[in-house]
Amino acid sequence: MTEIIIFIISFLFIALASKQISSFFVKVKLPQITGFLFAGIIAGPFILNLVKKDAIVNLDFVNHTSLAFIAFSAGAELYLKELRSRYKSISWMTFGQLMVTFVLSTIIILFIADYIPFMRNFNFWIKFSIAILLATIFVARSPASAIAIIKEMRAKGPFTQTAMGVTVVIDVLVIILFTITFSIAKVIVSGHEFNLLIEVMLFVELILSVVFGLLFGKIISFLMSTNFSSKIKMFLVLIVGYLIFFFSHQLKHYSLELTNFEFYLEPLLICIIAGFYVINYSKNKEEFLQVIKDAEIAIYVAFFTLTGASVSIDVFLESWLIAFVFFFIRLVTMIVGSYVGGKLGGDPYKLWKFGWMPYVTQAGVGLGLVMVVASEFKAWGTEFATVLISVIVINQIVGPPFFKWVLNWVGESHTKADSQKFEGTRDAIIFGLEDQSTALARQLINHNWKVKIATRRKDISQYAESKLNIIQIKDFSFETMKSLKADKSEAIISLNSDKENYEVCEMAYEYLGTKDIVVRLNDRNNFDKFHELGALIVEPSTAIVSLLDHLVRSPVAASLLLGTDKNQDTIDIEITNKNIHGLALRELQLPCDVLILSIKRDKNVVLSHGYTRLRIGDIVTIVGSNESLDKVMLRFEK
């Protein structure tokens, strides 16, 4: 127990380092999971030896708990209501990606078995066992990676729906397929003959796995309905996941002792069914999704780092060629499967020409199946695991770029447009005509901004004497935005209904690259979708209370923000002057009544001090007198 505690504490430090290392991979456009695997390999017994071989064995419970969570997450993505519109396409593409990939991969692997080091010395039936296990793992996909890419690209459309549906459905079916092939392989490798009893027991194992999955789904649903905090719920869900693996392994052990027959309920299938039940048939799906969201990063760090540490570098160096051969076998069979599935599903040629690209990436479930095989078949399990983990790492590196490219190619990505460069004139467009919008317009004009008010109202006669630039528009289309020269505006403010506000924000986000998008929120439930577009959100119901709170606790700062002192103001200035680039704050010759409050760089706020150096593109928040701010603005900008 003392050793296990030491291993856990040591591994926690390594996992924290792994989290930091993965940030570098994100910066170079590689998946974060790849960073975790890399960190694990570096820390493993074959390089730095920070995670020793005996530690990996003693940390097996981390694998089980993580695998359970990943399976819960995969089941939670199978939300039936969102898949109905693409049922036919999803069904046939699933058939193509599942059966075609499995059958073709099995045949090809058997054909080249004599050239694979860890297979060549076995008889045909053991080779067949290894081949069907390899082919099963080739089928596995990565819902977590697919979801991350879809969210990053803000993708939506028939191709995206089909890709997501197929990815999740296959991850459910691959567990069932693995249960069958794994049982067949165990019978063959152990030397037992097939008989009717084995087939019946296999069927019973599958049925009972589903039944226990529904049972544990009800248990999780009950836990989500309690008044416990989200952290306690998360801890309880992880405990349930570990207990599912513990129960399955104990049942296998005692059934073998008592009956001389292994009765094995597949824990991954139980977990995936449990997640499916909670998300589709429980009233507590929102709480469950929140628990998954809160826990996933910690789980992925632990699981993938430990998996990386388990990679046998010496075996990989001997079998890297086989890893690339397996990668290309999987890729070719997936392309054929995509052609068959797309053709049978009646999808347009454009949607299935590159329909294989979303399914290249592999991660959690595939790695989990690899580790199950490695722990069961000691004679060739290590070589099997090392080669397959290498294949999965390759898939994890090349898969996301493929998926991103095809989403752009089919025109279903909605990424943020390039930000507009400041052209020397501060201008804003306010969407919505009312007293608040006219008051805001006057306030901005007083601060030397050029302001337009765009409205769909037909009657604007009451504002005729306001002397403001009011423009009537028909809609919020791209053509309308171009006519307003919105692509040249530094700020867009929308004060309409939430539906209209979202149209404006989405257009500004995708096509205009507007620097600042400000929205007045009407319904608190819509907060997240505006936040995802990077909008600055003003919520009237809480804004006044927050403002009063700041006036009480920090009256001077609040007064500056409100502009109640006519001689002082607070502004944001973007550094565009190349002569300022690289200068430390202490080296700037600023007016004595000017103070730099903060620096925003690459969407992150920098904790500034005298030695902080400015860069082109930094957004600097400055407070001071109006006269001094004008001087600083002239100096910082071109």
Q: pLDDT tens, 536-581?
A: 888 876 766 666 666 676 666 666 556 556 667 777 788 887 778 8
Residue range 427-538, CATH number: 3.40.50.720
Q: How high is the mean pLDDT of the chain?
A: 79
The stretch 503-524 carries a mean pLDDT of 82
Each residue's pLDDT tens digit, 461-488: 777 777 788 888 888 888 888 888 887 8
Instruction: Give me the pLDDT at residue 219, please.
Output: 92
Q: Which amino acid makes up residue 251?
A: L
Which tens digits make up the pLDDT trace of 604-635? Answer: 777 777 778 888 888 888 877 777 777 777 77
pLDDT band at 243 (very low <50, low <70, confident <90, very high): very high
- Fold match flag (2-409 vs 427-538): no
Distance of CA 116 to the CA centre of its chain: 35
Only one residue has tokens 């359970």, namely 68
Rounded Cα distance between 607 and 6, Å, is 36
Residues 326-360 pLDDT 10s: 999 999 998 888 888 888 877 777 667 788 888 88
Tokens at residue 217, please?
A: 């789904």
Q: CA 90 to CA 168: how far, in whole Å? A: 10
Q: What angle do CA 153, 155, 157 make, to 5 degrees?
A: 165
Lowest mean pLDDT: which of 400-404, 488-492, 631-635?
631-635
pLDDT tens digit string along 406-418? 888 877 776 665 5
Task: For residues 299-318, give the mean pLDDT.
Answer: 76
Q: Global pTM?
A: 0.62
Among residues 392, 330, 326, 324, which one has the least CA distance to residue 356? 330
Lowest-confidence region among 202-211, 343-352, 418-427: 418-427
Q: Which helix (H) or strand (E) holds 536?
A: strand 536-538
Output the pLDDT for position 159.
Answer: 80
Q: What is the CATH number of domain 2-409?
A: 1.20.1530.20
pLDDT at 26: 67
pLDDT recorded at residue 104: 92
- The percentage of residues in the chain with a pLDDT greater than 90, rounded to a whole number, is 6
Contact 76/290 with Cβ under 8 angstroms? no
Q: Which residue intervals of 410-467 are DSSP H helices? A: 435-446
573 DSSP 8-state letter: E
CATH superfamily entry for domain 564-636: Regulator of K+ conductance, C-terminal domain (3.30.70.1450)
What's the pLDDT at 427?
A: 84
Residue range 424-446: mean pLDDT, rounded: 83
Q: Are 102 and 136 in contact (CB under 8 A)?
A: yes
Question: Mapping DSSP to helix (H, G, I), strand (E, B) and coil, where does residue 455 land?
Answer: strand
Domain ranges in the chain? 2-409, 427-538, 564-636
At 15, list the tokens: 């996992």
Which is it for strands 470-472 and 450-455: parallel, antiparallel or unpaired? parallel
